[in-house]
């Protein structure tokens, strides 16, 4: 007898668990479910396309920057023909690969981009250093594996450096990420 009572109790409690469940509500839910699923799939595909776009841009940026290894430093320089200074190099690489016109000076580039933690660095991010006794006086492009590419100083040329080298480690000022959506909104000339 107690077994039948327990079964009856389970059946009754199950019936009370969803008192609002009517055939119309069930029908509406079954119609809504495929629509929500298709919206989810569409959102997921859009995010995947955007993610691949970001990866492609950063890969292009790093590969393009590597193509300028050996170009001489020139104060105020903004092209391979004349030479680059640090911020001119970064600006030229972003313009060439992403169509983004970053501010001209390193400190302005730091203010323009989003602050990120050093541990979150990804290829294409900007790394800043205090090389002239003032914050954000030097900039380079992070290429991965603790290294960055930059145009260092007069008498030198575009090269890759290790951020763990004591000189760069002591002078590290921070990392920034260029938010392409924000940059495109602030720069109407971007395609």
Provide the b/e sequence for 66-103 (b: ≥16 CB within 10 Å). eebeebebbeebbebeebbbbbbbbbbbbbbbbebebe
Nearest by Cα to 61 from 174, 153, 178:
178
Determine the length of the chain.
191
Q: Is 86 a catalytic residue?
A: yes
Tokens of 25: 């509500």
Tokens found for residue 47: 């995010």
Query: Of these residues, 12, 52, 138, 165, which one is catalytic?
Result: 138
Contacts of 149 (CB under 8 A, 6+ apart): 62, 65, 66, 69, 140, 141, 143, 158, 159, 160, 161
Please give the structure tokens belonging to residue 83: 């030479």
Exactly one of 12, 52, 150, 165 is catalytic; name it. 150
The catalytically annotated residue of 12, 52, 86, 165 is 86
Q: Is 165 a catalytic residue?
A: no
How many CB atoms neighbour CB 130 within 10 A?
A: 15
- Among all residues, which ones are annotated catalytic? 86, 138, 150
């Amino acid at each position: 007898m107690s077994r039948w009572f327990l079964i009856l109790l389970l059946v009754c409690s199950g019936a009370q668990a969803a008192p609002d469940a009517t055939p119309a509500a069930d029908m509406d839910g079954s119609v809504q479910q495929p629509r929500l699923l298709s919206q989810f799939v569409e959102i997921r595909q859009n995010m995947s396309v955007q993610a691949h776009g970001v990866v492609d841009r950063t890969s292009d940026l790093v590969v393009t920057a590597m193509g300028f290894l050996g170009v001489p430093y020139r104060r105020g320089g903004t092209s391979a023909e004349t030479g680059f200074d640090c911020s001119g190099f970064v600006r030229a690489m972003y313009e060439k690969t992403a169509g983004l016109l970053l501010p001209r000076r390193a400190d302005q580039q730091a203010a323009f981009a989003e602050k990120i933690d050093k541990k979150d660095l990804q290829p294409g991010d900007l790394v800043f250093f205090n090389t002239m006794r003032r914050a954000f006086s030097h900039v380079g492009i992070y290429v991965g594996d603790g290294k960055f590419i930059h145009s260092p100083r007069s008498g030198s040329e575009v090269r890759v450096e290790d951020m763990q080298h004591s000189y760069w480690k002591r002078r590290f000022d921070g990392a920034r990420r260029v938010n392409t959506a924000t940059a495109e909104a602030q720069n109407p000339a971007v395609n």
